[in-house]
Homo-oligomer: A and B are copies of this chain.
Amino acid sequence: MADLKDCLFLKNLRGEPTDRTPIWVMRQAGRYLPEYMEVRSKISFNDLCRTPEAACEVTVQPIRRFGFDAAIMFSDILTPLEAMGAPFDFSHGGPKLERPLRDERDIRSLERYPSLEGVPYVAEAIRLMKKEFGDRTPLIGFAGSPFTLASYLIEGGGSKEYEHLKAMLYSRPELLQELLDLLGDQVLDYLLMQVEAGVDAVQLFDTWGGILHPADYEAMVLPVVRRILDGLKHTGVPRIYFLKGSAPYNHLVSTLDCECFGVDWTQDLTRAIAQLPGRCVQGNLDPLVLYGSPEQVRRRALEICRQGEAAPGHVFNLGHGILPKAPIPAVETLVRTVQEFRRGH
Which residues of chain A from 284 to 321 have any CB-CB distance to chain B below 8 Å in the complex? 286, 288-289, 291-293, 296-297, 300
Listed by A's residue number, 9 A-B pairs whose Cβ atoms lie within 8 Å are A162-B288, A163-B291, A163-B325, A209-B210, A210-B210, A213-B268, A214-B266, A214-B271, A247-B247
Question: A211 interface residue, CB < 8 Å from B?
Answer: yes
Contact of B167 with A288 in the complex, beta carbons under 8 Å: yes
A323 in the interface (beta carbon within 8 A) = yes
- Chain A positions 216-257 with a Cβ under 8 Å from a chain B Cβ: 245, 247-248
Q: How many copies does the complex hold?
A: 2
Inside 8 A of A163's CB, which chain B residues have their CB?
Answer: 288, 291, 323, 325
Give 7 closest A-B pairs by Cβ, nearest first: A170-B292, A166-B288, A247-B248, A167-B291, A171-B293, A171-B292, A247-B247
Q: Are B170 and A291 in contact, CB atoms less than 8 angstroms apart?
A: yes
Residue of B nearest to A267 (CB): B248
Task: Check if A33 is an interface residue, CB within 8 A of chain B.
Answer: no
A245 vs B210: C-alpha distance in the bound complex, in angstroms? 7
Are B212 and A266 within 8 A (Cβ)? yes
Is B171 within 8 A of A268, CB to CB? no
Instruction: Please count how many residues in chain A sit with their CB below 8 Å of the partner chain's CB atoms.
Output: 34
Contact with B along A142-180 (1 / 0, CB 8 A): 000000000000000000011100110111000000000
The answer to the question of A328 belonging to the interface, with a C-beta cut-off of 8 Å to chain B, is: no
Residues of B within 8 A of A266 (CB): 210-214, 245, 248
Query: Is A37 positioned at the interface, with any CB of B under 8 Å from its CB?
Result: no
Contacts of A77 in B (CB 8 A): none
Q: A210-B266, A325-B163 are in contact. Are A288 and B170 (CB under 8 A)?
A: yes
Mark interface residues in A307-345 (1 if CB within 8 Å of B CB, else 0): 000000000000000010100000000000000000000
Measured between beta carbons, the chain B residues less than 8 angstroms from A169 are: 292
